[in-house]
Structure 1
């Protein structure tokens, strides 16, 4: 599993002070680029100064990885979908989905209809139930 603090520190020389803000800034820049615009106002973490050439392809959905409610709220404000890993269903239902919905409402986004999708997996060599 990736330690996001260590990863951010390796990229920027320090961990993100506010991970949810970093997610929102990054997803916003990616969304702007994929929709043919500039990356939007240059943020302090991702000061992109580029644009993508037009492409004859559908715009992909933008996903954000979420494990905690603050980042889930940021994803709700900015992303099309959220991805989590090894997360108990009750936590998704009781914590992440409400945070995603709260973020979408706060941004005035229509209800994206968040729906959890789980793929059960068995440890290598274990018999499936």
Structure 2
């Protein structure tokens, strides 16, 4: 299992400037992480533009975004943007896409949140071939595309789907390179997401499973879970995540955080690797009275686990 790193503080509700994301990506490369992952929120910076800049000042690290909402972006327009960003990323870009949440799509964008799984299946059927350099001729329920585009110097972009429900996971397995999950615990990954993905991807290259989770190395696990509730508690009220918590058999986000001493966290992460997670995307968060020391301790362990 590869180890990535979050760039920027937006997932912790600490808004970051695009320049901070670029600096964080450079630091993650120096520390030896396999990938640097940026979120993309509809009320914040454009992640693909920012990662294109990061790609231009890094040389090895993979650069990923999770997730770009699909409804507000025509698949041809998103493919064009991602293919352009890929030029500056030197082939290291991963594009995560997802349907986001009803309050965001309907409330902020004013777009009907209709048929999410069917929408995603049709979207991937256009986006992925375009990112392979193919033309697309589709007259579907949601989109009509007749043609393609050319970006000199680009290369194929790996596409992952932000998927939690079985229908969305099946679409990811059949039409994309895998899934990127947020707050999916071991029970959900083992019983639902990974076997469904592998079955759907039968006959295709082995799918990627990128699991994003809160992580904190600490001697006080109870305090760490309480801190996770403060840092990520907004997800407790979202419908998609409430269903996820029910499947996982937990009450809230704090129960899914990977917390404990260095040995305890290493053991927990090894379990995710054994389940078939191919890459960890840790959302490192502080615990206790010295936030900087807490972050340093967690990153020190993750840097060691990331290896050379």
Per the normalisation by structure 2, the TM-score is: 0.36
**Secondary structure of 1:30's match?**
helix
Identify which range, 86-95 or 119-128, moves more after superposition: 119-128
Whether the 8 Å contact between 2:178 and 2:197 is mirrored in structure 1 is no
Gaps of 5+ in 1: none
1:16 aligns with 2:78: no
Whether the 8 Å contact between 2:117 and 2:171 is mirrored in structure 1 is yes
Q: How far does residue 8 in structure 1 lie from its aligned partner after superposition?
A: 4.0
Q: Kindly name which structure, 1 or 2, has the bigger radius of gyration based on alpha carbons.
A: 2
**Alignment equivalent of 1:45, drawn from 142, 146, 152:** 142
Structure 1 CA distance for aligned equivalents of residues 190 and 166 of structure 2: 12
**Secondary structure of 1:36's match?**
coil
**Secondary structure of 1:9's match?**
helix
Q: For each residue in 1:39-90, what CA deviation from the matched residue of structure 2 results, as whole angstroms up to 9, or x when unmatched? A: 3313222323451214323211111111111100110010012101111122
| Change in 2 beyond 3 A, CA 1:57/1:24 | same
Map 1:10-89 onto structure 2 (within 5 A).
13-17=111-115, 19-89=116-186
Whether the 8 Å contact between 1:64 and 1:83 is mirrored in structure 2 is yes
Once superposed, what is the RMSD of the aligned Cα atoms? 2.7
Identify which range, 34-43 or 2-11, moves more after superposition: 2-11
| Change in 2 beyond 3 A, CA 1:40/1:124 | farther
Q: Counterpart of 1:112?
A: 206
Q: Counterpart of 2:286?
A: 124
Q: For each residue in 1:80-103, what CA deviation from the matched residue of structure 2 results, as whole angstroms up to 9, or x when unmatched? A: 121011111221121101111222
Greater share of strand residues, 1 or 2?
A: 2
| Change in 2 beyond 3 A, CA 1:94/1:111 | farther
Q: How far does residue 124 in structure 1 lie from its aligned partner after superposition?
A: 3.4
Aligned residues: 125
Structure 2 CA distance for aligned equivalents of residues 40 and 20 of structure 1: 21
Structure 1 CA distance for aligned equivalents of residues 110 and 125 of structure 2: 19
Map 1:86-105 onto structure 2 (within 5 A).
86-105=183-202
